[in-house]
Amino acid sequence: MPYKSLTNKFLYLFIAFMAFAFSSVQAGHPEHPAHMEEKHADTPKTDEKYDAGSVIMHHITDSHEWEIYSKGHTHISLPLPVILYNIEHGLSVFMFSVFEHGHANYNGYYLDKKHHIQSLDGSAFYDLSITKNVLAMLVSSLILFLLFRSVAKRYQANPLQAPSGMQNLFEVLIIFVRDEIVKPMLKENTYRFLPYLLTVFFFIWINNLLGLLPSAANVTGNIAVTVTLALFTFFITMFNSSGHYWHHLLTAPGVPMGVKPILILVEVLSIFTKPFALLIRLFANMTAGHLIVLSFLSLIFIFGEMSAIAGYGISLFSLAFSVFIYCLELLVAVLQAYIFTNLSALFISEVLPHDNHHGEHAH
């Protein structure tokens, strides 16, 4: 394996993936701030019932702060930079903590009841903030960059020495992806697309594992991230498609004329349904795992409000199933990385001119 060339391409792709950390950028949708002062005037109620839905959604959605600990009135979190671009007012950069220090609004912006940033004058803006998911992706990309840089240096320093430790672990994984996923699909084009497919596999896997840690970000459960990953595969597929692929797609050879229009329409739609399947599969599976674990844990508090005995009784059941689902999520973390990489390799292989195609035409 040409490790040096492969590693360089691999590291360059990490830099590109760090750029899509801003995939969660979205245009602001201003709302009228009529209830803004009412929101800040509200005082927390001590007799509120446990709202499982809001707690679960709070843990799986993105935010402008990284919550470390929260219980009762004790709230410890890391505020993150807010970067807003308004076409009329220009760029605004400040820390999210300004809204928590008694500011009803700051620099022309305020928080609505759903803790979304809105503009006071109703003008449109773009949110380029370093949110929790963006920071988590930058951290995971940095971890992977340092790990693979360390492995690459050891190979360059001792190319003939048997691998050990972390180097041995990653060699097994890299060879698995190459020999069991990429090579059966892409054959002679294996090393052409291997850096991208390795990057996808390890990026998804590491983020899935980090997302299982307490107070961690649910990166792969964010639809913007999975859309961006699917678009990477989609554009790579389209830019490398061959004339044979488009001819077969748009002419449907060997099919009766009456069926051709329907089949061609189905084939054209499949171009877009393939990346859609990629993004939905990853997003749905990772989000579902978090929802199930949090739902089982929420049962303890819901039954505990009824009576202490019910709370303690359901806790054994909830904890047992939560641990089971959590262990299952460890398997799902690597399984989803494998499936995404496998399908990406399959979709790319379908558009490439393989030797067997030329052989069929010659025959």
Which tens digit of pLDDT belongs to each residue from 67-100? 876 666 667 778 888 898 988 888 888 888 887 7
The residue-averaged pLDDT of 178-195 equals: 92
Task: Report pTM.
Answer: 0.79
Predicted pLDDT of residue 108: 83
The values of phi and psi at residue 163, to 5°, are: -70, 155
Residue 342: pLDDT band with limits 50, 70, 90 = very high
In this model, does residue 152 exceed pLDDT 90? no
216 within 8 A of 62, measured Cβ to Cβ = no
- Binned at pLDDT 50, 70 and 90, residue 12 comes out as low
Question: What integer pLDDT is reported at residue 6 of this predicted model?
Answer: 54
How much is the average pLDDT of 11-20? 48
| Residue 25 Cα distances to 145, 163, 164, angstroms | 24, 41, 41
Return d(Cα 18, Cα 136) in angstroms, integer: 10
Closest among 234, 15, 28, 284 to 137, alpha carbons compared: 15
The pLDDT, as a whole number, for residue 209 is 92
Q: How confident is the model at residue 102 (pLDDT cuts 50, 70, 90)?
A: low
At residue 7 the predicted structure's pLDDT band, cuts being 50, 70 and 90, is low
pLDDT beyond 90 at 326: no
User: Which tens digit of pLDDT belongs to each residue from 242-255?
Assistant: 888 888 888 877 77
Is the pLDDT at 112 greater than 50? The verdict is: yes
Per mean pLDDT, which of 122-131, 207-216, 229-238, 287-296 is the most reliable? 229-238
Q: Please give the pLDDT value at position 303.
A: 82
Average pLDDT over residues 22-26: 38
Question: Measured between alpha carbons, how far is 232 from 340 in angstroms, rounded to an integer?
Answer: 12
Q: How far apart are CA 180 and CA 187, in angstroms?
A: 11
DSSP code string of 319-338:
HHHHHHHHHHHHHHHHHHHH
Q: Residue 187 pLDDT > 80, yes or no?
A: yes
pLDDT in the model for residue 10 = 52
pLDDT of residue 356: 46
Which residues, 6+ apart, have CB-to-CB distance to 77 below 8 Å?
A: 65, 66, 67, 68, 70
Provide the 10 A C-beta neighbour count for residue 38.
9
The strand pair at 105-106 and 125-127 is best described as: unpaired
CA atoms within 13 A on the CB side of 118: 18
Query: Confidence band (pLDDT; 50, 70, 90) for 279?
Result: very high
Instruction: Tell me what pLDDT residue 143 has.
Output: 92
| Average pLDDT of the chain, as a whole number | 79
Q: What's the confidence (pLDDT) of residue 70? A: 67
Share of the chain above pLDDT 70, in %: 81
CA gap 158, 150 in Å, rounded: 12
